[in-house]
Structure 1
Amino acid sequence: MPKPVNGFATALCAIAALACATPALAHQPLDEVTANFEEAIPNLPGKSLVAVEVEYPPGGASQPHVHAKSAYIYAYVVAGAIESKVNDGKPRIYNAGQSWSEPPGASHSISRNASKTEPAKLLAVFVVDTEDKELTTPTK
């Protein structure tokens, strides 16, 4: 694997540590959450852009959770199909190539692979207060 340049390695290490070390990502052990990107937004002081990839095995699901109060989220289905329910909205299935957004502090009661036989992959991009390190918190 080529080495990242221009401080990007530091950002990747930080987000990898965040994705692996914090229980705040609210995903089941069989789901794989991979740090993709993290960087402060230069023209928005105090804000950062954070991206994570979530891979769901067949039938895989995340625990119900809430997102950071500062986090505006763009979600893009990379592969497969994801069923999602945000706040009081209706559950909806998004297929590869489709996307949705989530407002700050959103409650995510359903986030799962819509297939029992095929894997699915999601890219979640957060615009978040730089000091917010807990992107998601499981709900009880």
Structure 2
Amino acid sequence: MKVHSILPSLVVTMSLGFAGAAAAQDVGETVKPNFSRALPNIPGKSLTAVEVVYPPGAASHPHTHAKSAFIYAYVVSGSVVSKVNNEPEHVYKAGESFFEEPGSLHAVSRNASKTEPAKLLAVFVVDSDDKQLTTNVK
């Protein structure tokens, strides 16, 4: 099986994982696939990017990502409160970024504002065969 043939299903699976988190709460984020491509110089790895839009007051459930996923998150607009692993909560403003190491717990991810939307770009470097990219933690 070619890596390119599994990338569309990878993006859909990741989107459904995020959408499932949003559907389970009153006000959640919206996740839209942005880019996905196998990395030709790193066999078995892919790069996938998604836009995450938080309406005012919106939040994600605590979650983890695929065990292979290294994530770079860049705040495009607004401000996002994030807490990864044992780090303290931090407010990231437009133009700032953070990362998640493989196996991290993303305990807090929410819009810092009750009146303005926020958007971030999440870029995953992940094993190409990882299907479930986001899992809510109960």
Identity %: 56
Summarize the alignment of residues 22-101 of structure 1 with structure 2, pairs less than 5 Å apart. 22=16, 24-25=17-18, 27-29=21-23, 30-101=28-99
Post-superposition Cα deviations, 1:39-75, rounded to whole Å, max 9, x if no partner, equal 1000000000010110000000000001111000000
In structure 2, the partner of 1:103 is: 101
SS at match of 1:88: coil
Within 1, Cα distance between the matches of 2:12 and 2:65? 18
Contact map agreement 1:15 1:37 (CA 8 A) in 2:
no
- In 1, Cα distance between the equivalents of 2:41 and 2:90? 34
Contact 1:19 1:33 in 2 (8 A): no
In the alignment, is the contact (CA less than 8 A) between 2:44 and 2:127 conserved in 1?
Answer: yes
2:132: which partner in 1? 134
TM-score (norm 2): 0.86
Does the 8 A contact of 1:27 with 1:61 survive in 2?
no
Query: Kindly tell me: are residues 137 and 109 of structure 1, through their superposed partners in 2, closer, same or farther at Cα, counting changes over 3 Å?
Result: same
CA distance in structure 2 between the aligned counterparts of 1:104 and 1:52, rounded to whole angstroms: 17
Which runs of at least 4 in structure 1 moved beyond 3 Å after TM superposition?
A: 13-16
1:18: Cα distance to partner? Answer: 2.6
Unaligned runs of 5+ in 2: none
Give, as a single letter, the amino acid of the residue that structure 2 aligns with 1:56: Y
**Contact 2:14 / 2:132 at 8 angstroms: preserved in 1?**
no
Structure 1 position 101, deviation (Å): 1.0
Q: How many residues align?
A: 129
Supply the AA of the counterpart residue of 1:89. E
Structure 2 counterpart SS, 1:18: helix
> Which stretch of the first structure deviates more once superposed, 27-36 or 94-103?
27-36
Structure 2: how far apart are the matches of 1:103 and 1:44? 18
Q: For residues 71 and 111 of structure 2, what CA distance do their matches in structure 1 show?
A: 19
